[in-house]
Structure 1
Amino acid sequence: MSVRPPDPAGPPRPAPSSAPFTARVPGSKSITNRALLLAAAAVGTTRLRAPLVSDDTLAFRTALTGVGVRVDAAPHDAYWDVTGGGGAPAGGGRIWCADAGTAARFLPPFAAAGSGTFVFDGSAQLRARPSRPLTDALTRLGATVRTAPDGSLPLVVDAAGLDGGGLTLDGSLSSQYLSGLLMAAPLFRTPLVVDVAGLVSRPYVDMTLALMRHFGTEAAEGPDGRIEVRPGGYEAADLTVEPDASTASYLFAAAAVTGRTVTVPGLGAGSLQGDLRFVEVLRRAGARVEVTWDATTVTGTGRLRGGFDVDMGDISDTFMTLAAIAPLADAPVTIRGIGHARLKESDRIAVVARNLAACGVVTETGPDRLTVHPGRPEPALIACHRDHRIAMAFSVLGLGAPGVLTLDDPDCVGKTFPGFHAELNRLCPEYEPPAPGALATSGAAAPAPHRQ
């Protein structure tokens, strides 16, 4: 990725443009993979319209077919027809999760409710991510589970069904452990009652519960926060996957940086995704925001305001989008509540701070926070660490930088948005997408001060 530098004598960002832009944002990864699992467990055939077609969702789809679930794809993947088995899988199998954290966290409870020996493994990046809260929970529910010595993948589940019961779960590292258990719970022999401690990213659990209702199962949530799910299974239910709100954050941020107007249809007040709240953060930063029931529009005003402190714990997949454009604001921006982002595809707090330092931007970090100071980014090589969100966020910073930012791994965006570079170029012609498979070799500027 590179961006043609503006006139050195001019401002770092273009003047606002009145031309509206309708963005083509692919389907939600979170909804696609949850719907795939629920459809696989249901009785009948579910049609998933407009699914996300990306590395993560294809890995999840392939994993399901590996345990006997039939998925028929329409031409150009306009929809997927998923024929469920009416319960948990039987017979065992080897499941390759690639880089997909949702596959490694949603599929083991699904398998444990069935029968046979299932072996889950993934890339070195996925093996480095924690799985112990899930494996401990499955063990307490009576499953026979084996892992690597440090509790990571590969994970072996000797399945003979699960009885449910009471369970206390540590939700401070990821909400995906809870979502995986909840989605499998209707397949247990007895009710599951979960008490969650320190839950992060609560909107993703709300999404899980809403999709479970869509497929015919209710979960009862008490005033004490405990969630109870009774046996009963699922019924097939067609679903249109809405655009991915996390992915849309990059295009909304591009509007804020460049003064353009960007609308994402199909993503509005009726959305299941908490990450749409990112536009409210952009509003605080000075952008104009309009949210209707079925669309969201962001318009840049030609300047970004800083000087605020925001907790993004519930929408942490979008914190990098804000952090990457924060140097262009007129005052420091502090982001809090994001400690669990250190355990994602990369240590996202540290990686963002190091890349901003390479651009000459001063940052400060703590265990769960990041402060970004205003600065004029210098030419730099951005280390992506195979993390799609790092690559996309810093591509947006490049739109407002006076020099050239280069990604060392532009193709890693394929995890959730294979067409990202082309779409950003369509929005911002000054953005030069990288050639397919290109690897950057340019050097980086000397790091700026960073205070840990």
Structure 2
Amino acid sequence: MTARVPGSKSITNRALLLAAAATGVTRLRAPLVSDDTLAFRTALTGLGVRITETGDAWEVTGTGRGPVAATNATDADGADAGADARVWCADAGTAARFLPPFAATGKGRFVFDGTDQLRARPLRPLADALTALGAEVSTGPGGALPLTVTADGLTGGDITLDSSFSSQYLTGLLLSAPLMSAPLTVRARSLVSRPYIDMTLALMRHFGALTEEHGDGAITVHPGGYTAADLTIEPDASTASYFFAAAAVTGRSVTVPGLGTGSSQGDLGFVEVLRRTGAEVEITASATTVTGRPDGRLTGGFDVDMGNISDTFMTLAAIAPLADGPVTVTGIGHARLKESDRIGAVARNLRALGIHTEEGPERITVHPGAPRPAEIACHRDHRIAMAFSVLGLRTGGITLDDPACVAKTFPGFHDELRRLFPGAATPQGI
């Protein structure tokens, strides 16, 4: 079976910013159309970037520079009526972390804000880095949104960045570094999710950036801007994980075309974890195929560090009760600071299903068991909803309290799951 997996969110939003910062018109083919990417696109248009749709592509007319906020109006008393530019990030963490550095390379005053869920996610390391580079930055309570940037360009420099919470702070700085007037060197302390940085650097080079990686882990980006460069967005490897896992637990075969050995997405490494459970995996230059054992049996009894592919640990944890031994996932402490406390949320949902589950600050252990009917608390987290939907293919009586939250990255997820597995059980209420 061939799964129709939409474009990568990570690539789409990075490419949108790169195209916006470039000189010329970029055509992004097959971008992901979801809540997060539309929020990112809308935020960019609010910053003065022209983006149009042509068939299945988005055409981005780059500004070749950082954004310039419009002169602000005054109120009836002649006082400043508010910030020059307000940027709504909705639920999109990439918008809140990639766009402030972009704004800081421009001129004016910008206020970034988002939903309560996004306000709960930390931004302090990014705010501190921008301050060190010369921007005037203020944050909301706890170093989170709303975040205000008063900008007059950035000159670059040499900084150390706390990257233990998220790699997105580093990505945000790197993406906008070519717009600075001098080289930027960043030393990322306790970096998590390194494959996303590799993706970022590869995309930056695609748009003409000059980057250097040093032996001590530091990264230097030289000034010079970007040049428009068309790009076809490959399927989302994180989203593909659900369909690959579904193949493993149903004993069927699923192929995702366009996701192969040349992929820049680290989350394709999830199929190697599935290989440890006994699934057959084939990766070619043009596609990846996972085939489960005929009886859907999974091999357990192993530990796996998923720190570099933490967006997929929930996929494994949700199907782990079907294995013949316990499965322990380590290295995922930073997942507690995503859309939800993902370790805690997954553990509580598994316990609601009657599965013996243990958790620590940066790990989770799931023991074999027969899941009982229960409602899954999604916490408005698309990945929780999708992961437990896969378990629902083998377990009747699973319901989701918020099935629509999958729209964050794949609005058509439930329809595609039903299309591929019409004879299997699916979570109720979708």
Q: What band does the TM-score fall into relative to the shorter chain?
A: over 0.9
Of residues 86, 93, 98, the one that matches 1:106 is 98
Count matched residues: 414
Q: Tell me what 2:42 maps to.
A: 62
> Equivalents in 2 of 1:227, 1:427: separation in Å?
43
Of residues 255, 280, 283, the one that matches 2:247 is 255
> Equivalents in 1 of 2:288, 2:93: separation in Å?
28
What secondary structure sits across from 2:16 in the alignment? Answer: helix
> Equivalents in 2 of 1:115, 1:434: separation in Å?
49
Contact 1:313 1:337 in 2 (8 A): yes
Q: Does 1:24 align with 2:4?
A: yes
Deviations 1:288-339 (A, max 9, x none): 0000011000000021000010000000000000000000000000000000
Gaps of 5+ in 2: 70-83
Q: Tell me what 1:219 maps to.
A: 211
What secondary structure sits across from 2:224 in the alignment? Answer: coil
Contact 1:89 1:115 in 2 (8 A): yes
> Equivalents in 2 of 1:431, 1:179: separation in Å?
40
The two structures, once aligned, show a CA RMSD in angstroms of 1.1
Partner amino acid, structure 2, of 1:66: G
Of residues 74, 86, 89, the one that matches 2:64 is 86
Of residues 327, 333, 338, the one that matches 2:327 is 333
Matches within 5 A, 1:308-387: 308-387=302-381
Contact 1:95 1:118 in 2 (8 A): yes
> Equivalents in 2 of 1:138, 1:27: separation in Å?
31
> Equivalents in 2 of 1:29, 1:399: separation in Å?
25
> Equivalents in 1 of 2:181, 2:144: separation in Å?
28
Q: Does 1:43 align with 2:23?
A: yes
Partner amino acid, structure 2, of 1:39: A
> Equivalents in 1 of 2:170, 2:159: separation in Å?
11
Matches within 5 A, 1:216-295: 216-295=208-287
Deviations 1:351-393 (A, max 9, x none): 0000000000000101000000000000000000000000000
> Equivalents in 2 of 1:326, 1:289: separation in Å?
18
Shift of 1:208: 0.2
Q: Tell me what 1:13 maps to.
A: none
Give the structure-2-normalised TM-score. 0.95
Shift of 1:109: 0.2
Q: Tell me what 1:427 maps to.
A: 420
Contact 1:422 1:433 in 2 (8 A): no
What secondary structure sits across from 1:386 in the alignment? Answer: coil
Contact 1:410 1:434 in 2 (8 A): no
Shift of 1:83: 0.3
Contact 2:26 2:59 in 1 (8 A): yes
Contact 2:397 2:427 in 1 (8 A): no
Matches within 5 A, 1:115-134: 115-134=107-126
TM-aligned CA distance change 1:434 to 1:362, over 3 Å: closer
Q: Does 1:400 align with 2:394?
A: yes
Q: Does 1:166 align with 2:158?
A: yes
Contact 2:392 2:426 in 1 (8 A): no
Contact 1:256 1:287 in 2 (8 A): yes
Partner amino acid, structure 1, of 2:258: G
Shift of 1:431: 4.7
Q: Tell me what 2:139 maps to.
A: 147
Q: Tell me what 1:199 maps to.
A: 191
Q: Does 1:52 align with 2:32?
A: yes
Shift of 1:149: 2.9
Shift of 1:245: 0.1
Contact 1:131 1:151 in 2 (8 A): yes
Q: Tell me what 2:404 maps to.
A: 411
> Equivalents in 2 of 1:337, 1:434: separation in Å?
30
Q: Tell me what 2:76 maps to.
A: none
What secondary structure sits across from 1:251 in the alignment? Answer: helix
TM-aligned CA distance change 1:432 to 1:411, over 3 Å: farther
> Equivalents in 2 of 1:347, 1:431: separation in Å?
30
Contact 1:424 1:431 in 2 (8 A): no
Shift of 1:103: 0.2
What secondary structure sits across from 2:143 in the alignment? Answer: coil
What secondary structure sits across from 1:413 in the alignment? Answer: helix
Shift of 1:189: 1.2
> Equivalents in 1 of 2:335, 2:161: separation in Å?
19
> Equivalents in 2 of 1:146, 1:197: separation in Å?
23
Give the structure-1-normalised TM-score. 0.90
> Equivalents in 2 of 1:150, 1:431: separation in Å?
45
> Equivalents in 1 of 2:116, 2:141: separation in Å?
15
Deviations 1:231-287 (A, max 9, x none): 100000000000000000000000000001000000000001000000000000000
Of residues 152, 163, 181, the one that matches 1:189 is 181
> Equivalents in 2 of 1:375, 1:369: separation in Å?
19
> Equivalents in 2 of 1:353, 1:312: separation in Å?
16
Contact 2:389 2:427 in 1 (8 A): no
Q: Which moved more, 1:50-59 or 1:66-75?
A: 66-75
What secondary structure sits across from 2:131 in the alignment? Answer: helix
> Equivalents in 1 of 2:410, 2:52: separation in Å?
22
Q: Tell me what 2:298 maps to.
A: 304
Shift of 1:147: 1.1
> Equivalents in 2 of 1:389, 1:407: separation in Å?
12
Gaps of 5+ in 1: 1-20, 440-452
Contact 1:290 1:298 in 2 (8 A): yes
Shift of 1:430: 3.3
Partner amino acid, structure 2, of 1:82: V
Partner amino acid, structure 1, of 2:409: T
Shift of 1:37: 0.1
